[in-house]
Amino acid sequence: MDKLVIEGGVPLTGSIDVSGSKNAALPILFASILLSEPVTYTNVPDLRDIHTTLKLLDMLGCPCSYQDRRVEVTPGDLRPEAPYDLVRTMRASVLCLGPLLARIGQARVALPGGCAIGARPVDQHLKGLEQMGARFELEEGYIIGRCRKLKGAHITFDLPTVGGTENLLMAAVLAEGESILENAAREPEVVDLANFLLACGARIEGQGTSCLRVQGVSSLHGAEYAVMADRIEAGTFLVAAGITGGELLLRHCPFAELEAVILKLQSMGMDITATPDGVLAKCGCPLRGADITTQPYPGFPTDMQAQIMALMCLADGASVVEESIFENRFMHVLELMRMGAQIKVSGHTAMVRGVSRLTGAPVMASDLRASASLVLAGLAARGVTEVRRIYHLDRGYERIENKLNAVGARIRREAE
């Protein structure tokens, strides 16, 4: 197990290339199950979750290869079981459920694992698939689904769910007849999945809105498709510029998809502008406190909550963070307090009072975005910070220490 050792206090300056989006790549890779021809993906990030997905696809009957962020998948004779040993490490594994039912009418998928940030039930996935004709049983920790042929249905989600929207969208493209998905998630990663499916011959309308209309087709062909850039990685590097008082140019940064984050960072005193070469972020003035409430897209993303909280720790005045998506996503708070932050948590709300400096300390990462928050705090802190359990970080950031060292950070990876 590795840890990151960070010597803080250095303003970051230079350019960073934003990687492909993990949260877009995962459902798009699982959509390979739907295809009757080989498919090629580019701009696929080199991450643990990606390689776990490729292993799972191979076990399901879709042999894969990965080289230089390029993935080739050849759908073959499909097998219905997604075993616990793989699924337990990654919640997105449940996204093979809809495609398997659509292609072969059966699936045996272990209940998913992932980060410990609260309950993320799959009931919306199952409820929608049942409306399309599937039947489910829970047996020894596995979801067992069967159907003769999925039928189009009019489905209204109880609340916007990214994974649920993606699973049902993939199922609907091969279902008989028309499907309407209302109160659907609007996240850019859902739009990217829809765009990929369209490139393969699907018939979808309404992507980017809360109502998706899908006309089922008999088969999907192959394509070559480039995965969108990672808006959460980009947002993390924007915060890195602000928290260190530096200046970073982010190439391939999805500016429009980060509007809620950029507006909030600008309100805190950062200067962020889109240029022909990328997005330029700098902070030459004292930071100001701000209030945020996490919301489904286009609101402030829950996946950026921990990172902006690290920035708030060094901003003048008080900031309030309300977490409305997950009930257990303040696990980074105690670790930030070990570094000198002043934070009080009450239920789903955290009050952050800015301090003049943070001090390096040994800290423990609890989940993916908490890991990023602690790395950001370490970059700004006086002294040395050790971030342990960074296997969480490696699930969502492509060797983040290399990118940060290239712009002036002092980070090294060591065996714990």
Q: What is the pLDDT of residues 388-403, one digit of tens each?
A: 999 989 989 998 999 9
Pair (241, 147) in one structural domain: no
The pLDDT assigned to 60 comes to: 97
For the segment 295-313, the average pLDDT, to the nearest whole number, is 97
Pair (247, 354) in one structural domain: yes
Q: Per-residue pLDDT tens for 21-63? A: 999 999 999 999 999 999 999 999 999 899 999 999 999 999 9
Pair (262, 355) in one structural domain: yes
23 has binding-site annotation: yes
For the segment 60-76, the average pLDDT, to the nearest whole number, is 97
Pair (107, 187) in one structural domain: yes
Pair (161, 279) in one structural domain: no
Residue 118 has pLDDT above 80, yes or no: no
Alpha helix stretches (DSSP H) within 156-292 = 162-172, 188-199, 231-243, 259-267
Pair (352, 244) in one structural domain: yes
Structural domain ending residue among the three candidates 164, 196, 226? 226
305 has binding-site annotation: no
| Sheet architecture: strand order including 271-275 | 13-17, 247-251, 278-282, 271-275
Selected catalytic residue, list 62, 64, 96, 115:
115
CATH code, domain carrying 56: 3.65.10.10
User: 70: which 2 tokens?
Assistant: 């390029």
> N- to C-terminal Cα distance for the chain?
6
Residue 117 has pLDDT above 70, yes or no: no
Token match 């009080």: residue? 344
Residues 263, 298, 96: CA angle, nearest 5 degrees: 135
> Looking at the chain, how many residues does it have?
416
For the segment 213-232, the average pLDDT, to the nearest whole number, is 98
Pair (258, 402) in one structural domain: yes
359, 384 contact by CB (below 8 A): no
The lowest-confidence range among 141-155, 249-263, 321-335 is 321-335
Beta carbons within 8 Å of 127's beta carbon, 6+ residues apart: none
The pLDDT assigned to 122 comes to: 87
Pair (115, 28) in one structural domain: yes
Structural domain ending residue among the three candidates 204, 226, 248? 226
Pair (188, 328) in one structural domain: no
User: 8: which 2 tokens?
Assistant: 């803080």
328 has binding-site annotation: no
Cis preceding-peptide flag for 298 (omega within 30 of 0): yes
- Assign 115 a pLDDT band (cuts: 50, 70, 90): very low
375 has binding-site annotation: no
Neighbours of 251 (CB within 10 A): 13
Residue 114 has pLDDT above 60, yes or no: no
Dihedral over Cα of 120, 47, 333, 295: its sign: negative
Dihedral over Cα of 240, 246, 250, 253: its sign: positive
Q: Which of 344, 352, 401 is nearest to 378 (CA)?
A: 401
Between 122 and 408, the more confident residue is 408
Phi, psi dihedrals of residue 237, rounded to the nearest 5°: -75, -30
- Provide the 3-class DSSP secondary structure of residue 15: strand
Alpha helix stretches (DSSP H) within 323-407 = 333-338, 368-380, 391-394, 400-405
Pair (256, 401) in one structural domain: yes
- Provide the 3-class DSSP secondary structure of residue 174: coil
Residue 119 has pLDDT above 70, yes or no: no
The pLDDT assigned to 113 comes to: 54
Share the mean pLDDT of the chain. 95
Pair (221, 235) in one structural domain: no
Count of the separate structural domains present in the chain: 2
Between 330 and 87, the more confident residue is 330
CA dihedral 212, 218, 220, 221 (to 10 degrees): -150
48, 184 contact by CB (below 8 A): no
115 annotated active-site: yes
Strand 135-139 to 142-146 pairing: antiparallel
Q: Per-residue pLDDT tens for 309-340? A: 999 999 999 999 999 987 778 999 999 999 99
Structural domain ending residue among the three candidates 226, 250, 269? 226
Neighbours of 275 (CB within 10 A): 9
291 has binding-site annotation: no
264 has binding-site annotation: no
For the segment 4-22, the average pLDDT, to the nearest whole number, is 97
Write the CA distances from 128 to 24, 175, 209, 212, 226, integer angstroms.
21, 13, 18, 14, 29
Pair (39, 12) in one structural domain: no
Domain containing residue 261: 2-18+230-415
217 has binding-site annotation: no
394 has binding-site annotation: no
398, 1 contact by CB (below 8 A): no
Distance, CA of 321 to CA of 295 (rounded, Å):
12
- Assign 116 a pLDDT band (cuts: 50, 70, 90): very low
